[in-house]
Amino acid sequence: MQRPYNFSAGPAAIPEDVLRQAASEMLDWHGSGMGVMEMSHRGKEFISIYEAAEAGLRSLLAVPPEFKILFMQGGGLAENAIVPLNLSRAAGVDFVVTGSWSQKSQKEARKYAAEVNIAASGEASGFTTLPDPASWTPSVGASYLHICSNETINGVEFHELPDLKALGSDAPLVIDFSSHVASRPVDWSRVGLAFGGAQKNLGPAGLTIVVVREDLIGQALPACPSAFDYQLVADNRSMYNTPPTWGIYMAGLVFDWLARQSEGEGAGEVRGIAAMERRNIAKAELLYGAVDGSGLYYNKVAPNCRSRMNVPFFLRDEALNDAFLAGARERGLLQLKGHKSVGGMRASIYNAMPLAGVQALVDYLREFEKTRA
């Protein structure tokens, strides 16, 4: 039986193969007589799960050896505090504000950093465009510059990470990649730290991934909670305290699933993240094309910075919103209601959403428009 297509922004759909595998291992993981949730995090069974998950992520995202991978708790929001606690060195920090999430991040950083400089903002456009990096004004001596590389609520995405050195800044780049991690490759030569909650693209809520360049850690502020001190977490291989064991296991299954994905044939075949990127581009083109080509729906974001993961769209007649959502639910198209701060609709089409799911949504968009014409 075909499960409904779930367009939730997060916690979001998980590949069905992964859910089935987790279900089949729920009571007895690999003949151990235990489910993963019941295992000691220090036992050999869980250590092997942890090591496979870490190696899986490192290989998928081509994380260089000088970066540590940390499996933490607290979500993206906690990282808004944990990053300045670890990296600000009580100096100034820079932010580029491109939507709700980076806005939240810079507010939180004010509690810990000596100064927060807004190096650029997309607010004047209502966050429908990204400020051109050439226009940014990074401050001298900032401890880091933070961006949200995919704004989940506003639907804007950096298709290329900024090269801060080319902008005359020595600051390491911090990216919040919660909502597009593993949807495309990462250019680590431009990144100092990347963090993301798992519940959009990697697995269940409760696991937070941090990938950080070694030389940036070890200078946490004295007030930093020990459990959130990147150096302590790294030295203890994410086992300073009990890590989110179930989330790590599930993310490990998702990494295996991602590694198995392929697109194209013969010499043109690509696998893993390259395959996901190709598929995600095709999905996004299909959906934006249908929205742009219609008389009923529209999207406000400038085409060159539209998110491939989160597609907010509106009905020209807002009075039809409830009927649209009810019809969608009837067809097994779930969780399309937009974020309360933006309104309208939002289709989140993360890695776990197949092209067929986007096609089903596009078919429904056309059908609904026809019945209202």
Kindly list the residues in this chain that would bind ligand PLP in the complex (CB under 6 A). 10, 75-77, 101, 148, 152, 176, 178-179, 197, 200
**Measured from the CB atom, is 54 or 176 closer to ligand PLP?**
176
| Catalytic option among 29, 68, 94, 101 | 101
Q: In angstroms, what is the minimal distance from the CB of 100 to ligand PLP?
A: 8
Give least dist CB 345 to ligand PLP, A: 17
Would residue 104 show up in a list of annotated catalytic residues for this protein?
no
Q: Is 256 a catalytic residue?
A: no
Q: How far is the CB of 178 from ligand PLP (least distance, A)?
A: 4
CA R_g for the chain: 21
Active site residue 235: no
Residue closer to ligand PLP, measured from CB, 19 or 77: 77
Of 77 and 274, which has the nearer Cβ to ligand PLP? Answer: 77
- Tell the smallest beta-carbon distance from residue 200 to ligand PLP (Å): 6
Q: How far is the CB of 27 from ligand PLP (least distance, A)?
A: 29
Among the options 68, 136, 200, 229, which is catalytic? 200
Sign of CA dihedral 266, 268, 273, 276: negative
- 169/348 with CB nearer ligand PLP: 348
Q: Which is nearer to ligand PLP, 205 or 221 (CB)?
A: 205
Q: How far apart are CA 322 and CA 337, in angstroms?
A: 9
Give me 101's structure tokens.
């999430």
Minimum gap (Å) between residue 323 Cβ and ligand PLP:
29
Indicate the residue among 128 and 152 with the shorter CB distance to ligand PLP.
152
Nearer to ligand PLP, 207 or 362 (CB): 207
What's the longest Cα–Cα distance across the chain? Answer: 63
Residue from 29, 68, 176, 257 carrying the catalytic annotation: 176
CB atoms within 10 A of CB 280: 23
Least distance to ligand PLP, CB of residue 81, Å: 11
The 3-state secondary structure of the chain, one letter per residue: CCCCEECCCCCCCCCHHHHHHHHHCCCCCCCCCCCHHHCCCCCHHHHHHHHHHHHHHHHHCCCCCCEEEEEECCHHHHHHHHHHHHHCCCCEEEEEECCHHHHHHHHHHCCCCCEEEEEEECHHHCCCCCCCHHHCCCCCCCCCEEEECEECCCCEECCCCCCCHHHCCCCCEEEECCCCCCCCCCCHHHCCEEEEECCCCCCCCCCEEEEEEHHHCCCCCCCCCHHHCHHHHHHCCCCCCCCCHHHHHHHHHHHHHHHHCEECCHHHCEEHHHHHHHHHHHHHHHHHHHHHCCCCEECCCCHHHECCCEEEEEECCHHHHHHHHHHHHHCCEECCECCCCCCCEEEECCCCCCHHHHHHHHHHHHHHHHHHC
Q: Which residues are catalytic?
A: 101, 176, 200
